[in-house]
């Protein structure tokens, strides 16, 4: 669980003199955690959707695709857990930094935040691609079911 903290806006000279507010970083942490939680619930739902296919489908090509999606869902779940840990650790670092009375948010902490942000953007893209592929697969399987 993320610890809420309050700190004054700090200046970091990244490319210009920008004001970085710790509360903005915390807000983004909360947003990411909510998104990760939603994805986690969605992956559980997708896994449940696959269970009847495993039991009722005998077509080996479809079963290979089911296994593919089960593996991809497991990989994404693992990635979600890694993100949760990274976000919680970064948040805790910011909390300790703030409580220590340090009056400047250093570049290292900000770069870490930007790094997590960029990884989240990439993970969103990968996850959306997987969902598109999965939904196309489900449409294909449903269409086969209607052909029978």
Residue 38 lies in a domain: yes
Of 73, 80, 44, 132, nearest to 140 (Cα)? 132
Residue 5 lies in a domain: no
Residue 42 lies in a domain: yes
**How far is 52 from 75, CA to CA, in rounded Å?**
21
Domain range spanning residue 102?
10-147
Residue 119 lies in a domain: yes
CATH of the domain at 129: 1.20.120
Largest CA distance in the chain: 70
Q: What is the dihedral of CA 96, 82, 106, 17, to 10 degrees?
A: -130
**How far is 95 from 98, CA to CA, in rounded Å?**
5
Quote the number of domains for the chain.
1
As averages over each run of 10 residues, the pLDDT of the chain (148 residues) reads 50 52 84 97 96 88 95 97 96 80 69 94 97 95 70
Q: pLDDT value at position 14?
A: 47
Q: pLDDT value at position 11?
A: 43
Q: pLDDT value at position 9?
A: 46
Residue 1 lies in a domain: no
Residue 34 lies in a domain: yes
Residue 127 lies in a domain: yes
């Amino acid at each position: 669980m993320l610890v809420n903290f309050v700190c004054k806006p700090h200046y970091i000279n990244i490319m210009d003199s920008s004001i970085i507010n710790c509360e903005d970083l915390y807000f983004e942490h909360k947003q990411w955690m909510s998104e990760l939680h939603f994805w986690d619930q969605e992956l559980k739902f997708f896994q449940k959707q696959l269970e009847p296919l495993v039991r009722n489908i005998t077509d080996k090509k479809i079963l290979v695709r089911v296994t593919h999606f089960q593996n991809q869902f497991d990989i994404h779940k693992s990635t979600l857990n890694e993100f949760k840990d990274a976000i919680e650790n970064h948040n805790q670092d910011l909390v300790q930094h703030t409580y220590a009375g340090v009056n400047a948010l250093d570049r290292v902490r900000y770069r870490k935040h930007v790094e997590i942000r960029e990884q989240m953007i990439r993970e969103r893209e990968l996850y959306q691609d997987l969902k598109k592929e999965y939904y196309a697969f489900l449409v294909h399987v449903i269409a086969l079911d209607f052909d029978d």
